[in-house]
């Protein structure tokens, strides 16, 4: 019997042969009928507008934990942000309904997967594709081969309902049995060492001074406002030329939906936090993050974690940019800053970044594009 009965039958790449689509017909996926499920289980179209609390509860209980001691505490706002794309931007109808699916039994959620259409630059080409996320199976039903059923049904729906796009989804995972296009390492920057230490997130032996250095007070670093968006988008379009893996936005409206801040009563309200550096009212650099708290399992405390989503450098060096972001994150009461290693930062130790053992890999389904260097990637998936 094959050791990887699912992936061995899928159009994924193990060595780079011909860049591009692996199977342009995806014959196995043109089936109009839903993927059969074991007896007693049924497919459910998860309605994000009505059932988000149920999904969040499911993800909190069953999604990822770090060493079983800390759990990613997904919030409604972040999942909604991920799935809140406009169908018109991708020439499709009702895709959130089609692409947010679950397996249920007697009204109970047992597994979930979703995809959001996106334009992704892979190599030199802009692809109409999808980002797959939140694949999750109930903890008591692991190793029962439900994950391949969710993946198959998602791909089938993409093929049947959205044949003009969504040909080669991209996703992150750990250690799948085929060639990732990129492996990336996580880095943490402790912002509130005392709280992290009190909640056993860090070991006291690691202590050094985690204060933020004094920064040039002439630099303006502030939340991005609607008037900044044209210039921020221009910088994005300029910098993307050097990237081989990146999300892409066809127009300013798509860009705005993805990166704009939510400000309520003058306060930043997440889940997205985008800051700009300005000189003489001109945006020179910007940085965008998303918040995803960790729950401490033994005492149920919450650690506030800010994760890098995008950084566009123009005139400010990395050292200053990151330190400006750390300072603002601290002021916003975040305890930890987390990033993937996509920047050729020479002075990681000066920034007090702690390298983690955890790695994540990027995979493409049905698309062969070879290996991408981490410095050529600016695609970060929540």
Ligand X SMILES: CC(C)(COP(=O)(O)OP(=O)(O)OC[C@H]1O[C@@H](n2cnc3c(N)ncnc32)[C@H](O)[C@@H]1OP(=O)(O)O)[C@@H](O)C(=O)NCCC(=O)NCCS
Binding site for ligand X (CB under 6 A): 4-7, 62-64, 135-137, 142-148, 172-173, 176-177
Query: What distance in Å separates the CA atoms of residue 252 and residue 273, rounded to the nearest whole number?
Result: 18
Do residues 262 and 272 lie in contact, with contact meaning Cβ atoms separated by under 8 Å? yes
**For ligand X, the closer CB: 8 or 315:** 8
**For ligand X, the closer CB: 63 or 248:** 63
| Count of beta carbons in the 10 Å neighbourhood of residue 33 | 7
**For ligand X, the closer CB: 66 or 332:** 66
Rg (C-alpha) for the chain, rounded Å, is 21
| Count of beta carbons in the 10 Å neighbourhood of residue 303 | 18
Which residues, listed in sequence order, are joined to residue 248 by a DSSP beta bridge?
A: 119
Do residues 278 and 183 lie in contact, with contact meaning Cβ atoms separated by under 8 Å? no
Judging by beta carbons within 10 Å of its beta carbon (0-12, 13-18, 19+), is residue 11 exposed, middle or buried? buried
Judging by beta carbons within 10 Å of its beta carbon (0-12, 13-18, 19+), is residue 267 exposed, middle or buried? exposed
**For ligand X, the closer CB: 35 or 239:** 35
Query: Minimum Å distance from CB 306 to ligand X?
Result: 20
Return the axis-axis angle of helices 252-259 and 229-239, rounded to nearest 10°: 100
Q: Would you list the DSSP string of 260-325?
A: ---EETTEE-SSEEEEEEEETTEEEEEEEEEE--EEETTT--EE-EEEEEEEE-SSS-HHHHHHHH
Query: Minimum Å distance from CB 381 to ligand X?
Result: 9
Is the previous residue joined to 198 through a cis bond, with omega within 30 degrees of 0? no
**For ligand X, the closer CB: 215 or 381:** 381
Query: Minimum Å distance from CB 30 to ligand X?
Result: 21
The residue assigned the tokens 């959001």 is 116
Query: What distance in Å separates the CA atoms of residue 25 and residue 101, rounded to the nearest whole number?
Result: 24
Query: Minimum Å distance from CB 75 to ligand X?
Result: 17
**For ligand X, the closer CB: 142 or 262:** 142
Query: Minimum Å distance from CB 168 to ligand X?
Result: 15
**For ligand X, the closer CB: 153 or 312:** 153
Query: Minimum Å distance from CB 99 to ligand X?
Result: 16
**For ligand X, the closer CB: 63 or 210:** 63
Which residue, 171, 184, 181, is CA-closest to 123? 181
**For ligand X, the closer CB: 4 or 346:** 4
The residue assigned the tokens 């955890």 is 358
Query: Minimum Å distance from CB 201 to ligand X?
Result: 20
Query: Minimum Å distance from CB 105 to ligand X?
Result: 15
Query: Minimum Å distance from CB 280 to ligand X?
Result: 43
CA dihedral 215, 220, 224, 229 (to 10 degrees): -130
Query: What distance in Å separates the CA atoms of residue 166 and residue 144, rounded to the nearest whole number?
Result: 27
């Amino acid at each position: 019997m094959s050791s990887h009965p699912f992936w061995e039958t899928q159009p994924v790449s193990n060595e780079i042969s011909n860049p591009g689509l692996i199977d342009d017909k995806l014959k196995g996926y043109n089936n109009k009928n839903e993927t059969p499920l074991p007896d007693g289980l049924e497919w459910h179209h998860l309605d994000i507008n009505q059932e988000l609390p149920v999904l969040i509860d499911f993800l909190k209980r069953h999604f990822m934990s770090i060493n079983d001691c800390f759990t990613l505490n997904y919030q409604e706002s972040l999942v909604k942000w991920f799935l809140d794309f406009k169908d018109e931007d991708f020439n499709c109808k009702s895709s959130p309904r089609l692409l947010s699916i679950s397996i249920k039994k007697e009204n109970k959620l047992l597994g979930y997967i979703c995809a959001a259409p996106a334009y992704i630059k892979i190599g030199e080409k802009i692809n109409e594709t999808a980002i797959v996320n939140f694949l999750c199976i109930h903890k008591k039903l692991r190793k029962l081969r439900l994950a391949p059923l969710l993946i198959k049904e998602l791909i089938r729906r993409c093929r049947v309902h959205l044949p003009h796009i969504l040909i080669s989804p991209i996703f992150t995972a750990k250690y799948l049995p085929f060639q990732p296009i990129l492996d990336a390492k996580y880095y943490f920057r402790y912002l509130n060492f005392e709280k992290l230490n009190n909640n056993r997130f860090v070991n006291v032996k690691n202590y050094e001074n985690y204060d933020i250095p004094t920064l040039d007070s002439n630099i303006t670093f502030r939340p991005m406002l609607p008037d900044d968006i044209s210039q921020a988008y221009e910088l994005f379009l300029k910098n993307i030329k050097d990237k081989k893996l990146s999300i892409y936005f066809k127009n300013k409206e798509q860009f705005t939906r993805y990166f704009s801040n939510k400000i309520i009563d003058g306060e930043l309200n997440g889940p997205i936090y985008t800051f700009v550096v300005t000189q003489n009212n001109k945006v020179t650099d910007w940085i965008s993050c998303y918040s995803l708290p960790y729950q401490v399992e033994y005492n149920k405390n919450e650690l506030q974690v800010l994760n890098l989503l995008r950084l566009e450098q123009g005139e400010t060096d990395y050292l200053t940019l990151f330190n400006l972001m750390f300072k603002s994150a601290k002021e916003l009461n975040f305890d930890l800053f987390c990033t993937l290693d996509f920047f050729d930062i020479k002075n990681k130790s000066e920034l007090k970044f702690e390298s983690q053992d955890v790695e994540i890999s990027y995979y493409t389904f049905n698309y062969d594009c070879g290996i991408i260097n981490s410095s050529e990637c600016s695609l970060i998936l929540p």
